[in-house]
Amino acid sequence: MTRYTVPIKDIIREENLNCGNKAQALSIMTSEDIRIPDGICITPDAYQEFITRTDLKGRILMELGRKDLKDMRWEELWDASLRIRNMFVRTPLYPSLREDIISGLPKSLQRKPVVIRSSSTAEDTQGTSFAGLHDSFVNVTGIDRILHHIKLVWASLWSDAALSYSKELSLDINNSAMSVLIQNMIVGTKSGVAFGENPNDPKKAVIEAVYGLNKGLVDGDIEPDRWIVNGKTGKIVSQHQSAHDRYTTVTTEGTTLKKKNLAGTRSPLLNKNEIAEIFSTLTTIQNIFGSKQDIEWTFRRGLLYILQARPITVRSSKDNNKRRVWDLSLRRSIDNLNNLSKKIEKVYLPAMTKEADKIAGKNLTKKSDKDLAEEIADRKKAFESWQAIYWNEFIPFAHGFRLFGQIYNDRLSPKDPYEFVDILATSHLMSFERNRALESFAKDIFKNSQGSSRSTSDPVLKKKLEDFIEKFTGVSCDIAKCENEKETLLNIARQLGKKSPSAKNKPVGREKKTKLFLHSFSKKDRAYAENLLDIGRKSYRLRDDDNIYLGRFEGLLTEAIEESRKRLGRRCKDTYACSNPEEVMRALNFRTYAPKAVETRPDKNSKMKMRARQLRGQPASRGIAEGTARVVATASDLGFVQNGEIVVCDAIDPNMTFVIPLVSAIVERRGGMLIHGAIIAREYGIPCVTGIPHATDFIKTGDYITVDGYYGLVIVHDQKEAKEKRAAGRRLSTKKEGIP
């Protein structure tokens, strides 16, 4: 035992030592002669000392203070968590702490592979715990790698999942702490879990088993063999055998899923004696703790090891927050992402194109009012059904680049936690292709008209415009078709024509960084690293392109609504109501009905005036810009955007990307570092701040604003300041540092 370490067996003897329930349970079991892997616990004091002495405490606090955690979207929580994780990775253990941990680590653990597990002081208490909040690492060898992973476990006290449960966990900078277990790695031939109580039948117990390590089972990647046994006698009631086609095994560091040769794997994974031994140990553990338990176990060389035990009520805790459950389901393993990738590429995207082409081929002008109403219903249904697939399949796939980013940061400890985006952005994004074509078209207009605004009636110009629309109609809802008869597109093109070519962000050392990343893995694991990079790139590209694919369905719906608006004429006084498909359909079916909007109540304190002076969000793309705000609420606002203005919007969608080469910064309500607006801003090298609550309420078109993309701040200047700034003609040029 040292100041900051204690052998697992001694934890229960030490008073006032809170190593978390996981460590406590292991200590109790070992004192009762249950076989567990040997190891030590690094006390929570080590964590507290580390964050206090290195000033991490204040930095974490500042990160968490950006916004109420409850107001953050999952992506924002992930971003906050990533930044905190990087702070831990980049902060060295100071010498005395490092020496203390090393001297507390038995020599056997310093040489052999170990498992490094979280044991949070707030985790696993009855009714407040939800599985998978903090990180554990399997198969880590050598002092330096162990110390590195200790910091990663500490950082996971602030994981995105933990942050989303911060209230339930009473997560707090002063009182929350993390202890770390370092245990001998037991490479079992078969492993699994056992539950003292079957959720569907409390009188029965359940045993599940897989080949190799139980990580594949716990992560949900491998289907196990399952036995339902009598909860009192252990007598087998039923059994289910799985495919036995894959198993988890160790690699140089960590684990990997491998395919298994099916020969000789047809019989059940556990024999009767083994089932009896697991059941008997489970019963002993339940007697020790006096409650039904959920255990993890493994067999090595015929010996049964218990890896973990916890009260069954913990795992059965139900989360009624559906959104949060969904958010947490987004964390996917690389195998899961590989499958998702194939499905999206081979099935969904071709099907989307085919269906959208079919809808686009219909002639709306020839339809009767009633048929047009039906067409709107069909298009709405198509949009909604693809939207559901987008949520359930496309968004989870976006986890691919998050997973890549996390591993990139763990391997290379970059100063900027978003450096990995440079490596992913090599992909050819569809929206940039469109923008390049639009810029080229804009130059043609400018050349033909010598900069003057020519009318849309000019036949040469008209033809060029139609050609452009024709070319890109297959990939998106083209704004010219959906809104204001091409005028919007022309306005943007005219502005673009006057502008010098957009300075594209060319990240420095992209190839070098890619090489560094790949070579941070051993030759044996290089294929895994390449797979990770491939999934990262595909998911990054899809994050952009999927909006465009889905946007096309939304565009087709808008097109049908536009046709209806023309027909409804005077009945469409309320523009907002006439964008509601239900209202429009009703008006098409009933000749006397006019679409209605919901009334809003006036603010009672209307005499008082409130204004935002400074708004805090996330720094999504670096740089500083000052300029006039242009609030973009609908696609029709796009046509008014002027060169150098700052776009303020709820969320950048594919239609808006046309104007990005014109603007000097982006401010967005939707938060996140890796959302569409942030990606495109970094690509064009302009500042971007995301996650500003009610951005379009607090900032009005015409306001003079400063966007600070370093800190994530938007300053709304008052009229006096704005006048002075405009008079001085002061515009800070966007600063780029070659990194997002």
Partner 1 sequence: MPRKAATLKSEIEKLLRKERLAVIATQGSPYPYTTLVGFSFTKDLKCLFFATMRGTRKYRNILNNPHVSVLIDTRKNDIDDFKDAVALTILGRAAELEKADKKKYLTLYLKRFPHLKSFMEDPETALVEIQVDRYIFVRRFQEVKELSLT
Q: Which residues bind partner 1 (CB under 8 A)?
A: 57-58, 61-62, 64-67, 71, 173-174, 603-606, 608-616, 693-694, 697, 711, 713
Nearer to partner 1, 62 or 727 (CB): 62
Residue 438: phi and psi, rounded to 5, are -65, -40
Query: What is the torsional sign of CA 461, 464, 470, 471?
Result: negative
Nearer to partner 1, 567 or 717 (CB): 717
Q: Find the shortest distance in angstroms from Cβ 174 to partner 1.
A: 7
Nearer to partner 1, 309 or 714 (CB): 714
| Helix-helix angle 526-568:349-360, to 10 degrees | 20
Nearer to partner 1, 52 or 642 (CB): 52
Contact yes or no for 163/170 (Cβ under 8 A): no
> DSSP states of 228-259 as a string?
EEETTT--EEEEE-----EEEEE-SSSEEEEE
Q: Find the shortest distance in angstroms from Cβ 707 to partner 1.
A: 14
| CA atoms within 13 Å, Cβ hemisphere of 29 | 25
| Closest C-alpha among 379, 346, 391 to residue 547 | 391
Contact yes or no for 679/547 (Cβ under 8 A): no
Q: Find the shortest distance in angstroms from Cβ 67 to partner 1.
A: 7
| Closest C-alpha among 398, 536, 334 to residue 75 | 398
Q: Find the shortest distance in angstroms from Cβ 5 to partner 1.
A: 27
Burial class (CB in 10 A: 0-12, 13-18, 19+), 498: exposed
At which residue do the structure tokens 């309500």 appear? Answer: 669
Element (H, E) at 270: none
Q: Find the shortest distance in angstroms from Cβ 619 to partner 1.
A: 12
Nearer to partner 1, 194 or 648 (CB): 648
| Closest C-alpha among 127, 102, 76, 81 to residue 3 | 102
Q: Find the shortest distance in angstroms from Cβ 438 to partner 1.
A: 36
Nearer to partner 1, 457 or 605 (CB): 605
Nearer to partner 1, 57 or 499 (CB): 57
> DSSP states of 657-676 as a string?
GGGTTT-SEEEESS--SSSH
Nearer to partner 1, 586 or 616 (CB): 616
d(CA 635, CA 19): 56
Nearer to partner 1, 67 or 552 (CB): 67
d(CA 77, CA 133): 13
Query: What is the torsional sign of CA 681, 687, 689, 694?
Result: negative
Nearer to partner 1, 263 or 610 (CB): 610
Q: Which two three-digit tokens encode residue 548?
A: 């465009």
Q: Which two three-digit tokens encode residue 631?
A: 């609030």
Nearer to partner 1, 590 or 711 (CB): 711
Q: Find the shortest distance in angstroms from Cβ 691 to partner 1.
A: 11
d(CA 428, CA 431): 9
At which residue do the structure tokens 């909604």 appear? Answer: 384
Nearer to partner 1, 261 or 600 (CB): 600
Contact yes or no for 98/171 (Cβ under 8 A): no
Alpha carbon dihedral 158, 161, 162, 163, in 10-degree steps, equals 70
Q: Find the shortest distance in angstroms from Cβ 700 to partner 1.
A: 15
Q: Find the shortest distance in angstroms from Cβ 693 to partner 1.
A: 5
CB atoms within 10 A of CB 569: 8
Buried b (16+ CB within 10 A) or exposed e, 439-465: bebbeebbeebeeeeeeeeeeebeebb
d(CA 520, CA 6): 33
Q: Find the shortest distance in angstroms from Cβ 4 to partner 1.
A: 22
d(CA 247, CA 270): 15
Helices (H), 450-486: 459-472, 479-482
d(CA 192, CA 600): 57
Q: Find the shortest distance in angstroms from Cβ 58 to partner 1.
A: 5
Identity of residue 413 = S
Q: Find the shortest distance in angstroms from Cβ 73 to partner 1.
A: 15
Q: Find the shortest distance in angstroms from Cβ 606 to partner 1.
A: 8
CB atoms within 10 A of CB 618: 26
Q: Find the shortest distance in angstroms from Cβ 715 to partner 1.
A: 8
Residue 448: phi and psi, rounded to 5, are -65, -35
Nearer to partner 1, 15 or 603 (CB): 603
| CA atoms within 13 Å, Cβ hemisphere of 254 | 14
Nearer to partner 1, 79 or 294 (CB): 79
Q: Which two three-digit tokens encode residue 331?
A: 């964390």
Nearer to partner 1, 250 or 612 (CB): 612
Residue 628: phi and psi, rounded to 5, are -85, 135
- List the beta bridge partners of residue 258: 247
Q: Find the shortest distance in angstroms from Cβ 712 to partner 1.
A: 9
Residue 197: phi and psi, rounded to 5, are -145, 125
114-120: strand order across its sheet: 5-7, 39-42, 178-184, 114-120, 137-140
Nearer to partner 1, 372 or 665 (CB): 665
Q: Find the shortest distance in angstroms from Cβ 453 to partner 1.
A: 40
Q: Find the shortest distance in angstroms from Cβ 624 to partner 1.
A: 15
| Closest C-alpha among 511, 547, 344 to residue 426 | 511
Nearer to partner 1, 29 or 64 (CB): 64
